[in-house]
Amino acid sequence: MAIDKSKQTLSHSSMDMVTRLAARRPVGPPPKRGLPWGKYFHYFFCSLSYIFLLSPMIVVIGASLHGGEYYTAIKFPPDEPSLQWYWKIPKGQLEALGLSFGLAGLTALGACIIGIPAALGIVRGKIPGKTLISAVFRAPLQIPAIVTGIAFLQLYYLFGDATGLYFQGTFLGLYIGHLFVATPYVVGTVTAILQRFDTRLEEASFSLGASKLSTFRRVTLPVIMPGVYAGALYAFMVSFGDVPISIFLTAPGFVTYPIELFYGMENDFDPSILASASLVIFFCLLVLLGMQKLVGLDTLLRSGSR
Amino acid sequence: MKTRWEFVLLPSFVIIGILIVASQYVFLNGSFYKDMGLGRIGDSATMVNYIRFFTDSFYLNTLWITIKTSALASIFTLILGFPVAYLIARMRSHWSMLLLAGIVVATFVTIVIKVFGLIILFSADGLINQVLMGIGIVDRPYTIIGNQTGVVVGLMHFTLGFGVLLLYSVIQTIPRSLEEAAQIHGASRWRMHMRVLLPLSLPGVTVGALMIFNMSMGAFTSAALLGGGRVFTLPVLIQRTVMMEVKYSMAGTLAAVLLVTVLLINLLAIFLIRRLRAARLVIA
């Protein structure tokens, strides 16, 4: 078995070498006459996609820089550049942001605590019906988000009627709902990494006299860490941006940032929303940069592709 | 030294399992009772909510609009997303990281903020209408708020970033050398795409399309804000039924119909893919 594996990697690396050598020599596709219109069209089309995708965020940031009076303050492109709205973000929005940060952080943590053992069990456990078990862990993503929201609301009502403990509109209630949809991401990313894990590393650690616990801490955990980071990031972002679940489980005076924004837009635009939204966009960029430094974006995506 | 990993799994499985079963059971069960107003429900099980759903044209129309907008959003997401995913996956320079970063940020920023930007962009005196009216294409401000186009655009903003990431990982599994081989043998770019790239990526793309469709079917925010109280999709209607009409049973019925519709469409799609595979129309 072991020999087989090494052979495979050998042939693979020699294949790599061949392609690399081939790439160095000008073999490639034969040169064509005329301009590569197909290629230009492809670039043009992609830039349209990017404009479509990024324009709303650019508009929000741009409009947040516009000064002016309260009722004329939403304008893009801005003509009176000013940072005034950044100083006028009301307390309600800041509180909502704080709640969202705390909730998302704890959700990421909780998702890891539930998700990592689950992934270990799915990949390594000797259990019948593994497909079914991993389907159960993936189920929260298949259930439409709005259905999850109303399902938890009704569950809390029923539970409250039976025990006198009402969870709706409490931090714990909101937290359980978010944990429910965030956990599958961690399970997914860690499973993806574990499936490529070389168990001989652990065997080596055992044969050198390490205990189970220290093998896990010093060998297994560092290897699966990129998957954990990626999963935790997904979990954080899912919780941080969620509307369909939070809208049922929050209460007046106790709202997450997206819900505060949602109600703010349904009623009356307060220009300071633009400023706080821009701050959130910058925060997402910052997280991304951190992630790129920590594990690299492609690792993030390769392990998160489910 | 053998670790019994199946016991490690158990606590997580129990937690998630209980949450799934309990939450789904409660609202499904509730959907079989009659709303008595003020959040109270009747005490005997009845099909009255389901009968109402399937006989009332408003509800049926809502279901149809939900499926239609989700399907349109999924198709357009694939059309806009695939070329981008292909470009990034096949790029050799470090610019690909920058392009990828743009996609990831767009995926992570909450949809409420993106819809906010869209509303500013498409407002009566917004940039798009200024340009359109300036060059005389339209004489009245064009709006996407309160119509189905708006809902589809909103859904696309919800799914496009995610879709590109999905397609990117699909395309990365296809060896570049196969495309080069086709081109060395004299295939044109178009022919290479149709005969090599498309068949190889089709299974992954179908799975991705299904995931995008599922996301759209459950999407509440973009439909609620861009529908502007005039276009109703099932998620929007569910929220209104709970928050404004306080009819939990009817909302449960709507949620059940949505859930079953999504499941049925998924099963149908998987069945079709199997059949196509058996008929050798799809490779892999």
Beta-carbon separation of A49 and B172 below 8 A: no
- Domain with A147 in it: what CATH number? 1.10.3720.10
Q: At what angle do helices A145-163 and B234-243 cross, to 10 degrees?
A: 30
User: Considering the domain boundaries, does residue A3 fall inside one?
Assistant: no
Q: A72: which 2 tokens?
A: 């004329």
| Global confidence as pTM | 0.85
* Residue A26, domain member (yes or no): no
B3 and chain A: CB distance < 8 Å anywhere? yes
Q: Does some domain include residue A22?
A: no
Of B23, B105, B161, the CB nearest to A151: B23
Rg (CA), chain B: 23
The H-or-E segment that residue B190 falls in is helix B189-192
Among residues B145, B152, B106, which one has the least CA distance to residue B128? B145
- Name the residue range of residue A252's domain: 97-268+294-303
Instruction: Check A212 against B1: CB less than 8 A apart.
Output: yes
| Biggest distance spanned by C-alpha atoms of chain A | 79
Taking a C-beta distance cutoff of 8 angstroms, is the pair A191, A135 a contact?
no
**Six-digit token string for B274:** 């199997």
Q: Is residue A200 part of a domain?
A: yes
pLDDT bin (cut points 50, 70, 90) of residue B173 is: confident
Please state the domain extents for chain B.
Answer: 61-250
Task: Count the domains in chain A.
Answer: 1
* A126 assigned to some structural domain: yes
Q: What is the pLDDT of residues A288-299, one digit of tens each?
A: 888 888 877 776
Contact B110, A258 (CB under 8 A): yes
Name the band, by pLDDT with cuts 50, 70 and 90, for residue A79: confident
List pLDDT tens digits, range B246-263: 888 888 999 999 999 999
Q: What whole-number distance in Å separates Cα of residue B255 and Cα of residue A150?
A: 8
Query: Of 1.10.1040.10, 1.10.132.20, 1.10.3720.10, 3.40.50.2000, which CATH number belongs to B61-250?
Result: 1.10.3720.10
Query: Under an 8 A CB cutoff, do B184 and A28 touch?
Result: yes
pLDDT digits (tens, 9 = 90+) for A143-174: 889 999 999 998 998 888 888 888 888 899 99
Which ipTM value was assigned to this complex?
0.86
Asked if the model's pLDDT at residue A229 lies above 70, the reply is yes
User: Tell me: the pLDDT tens digits for B183-207?
Assistant: 788 777 778 877 888 888 887 888 8
- Does the distance separating the beta carbons of A284 and B109 come in below 8 Å? yes
Enumerate residues 166 to 205 of chain B having a beta carbon within 8 A of any beta carbon in chain A: 166, 168-170, 172, 177, 180, 183-184, 186, 189-190
Residue B280: pLDDT band by 50, 70, 90 thresholds? low
pLDDT grade, residue A126 (50/70/90)?
Answer: confident
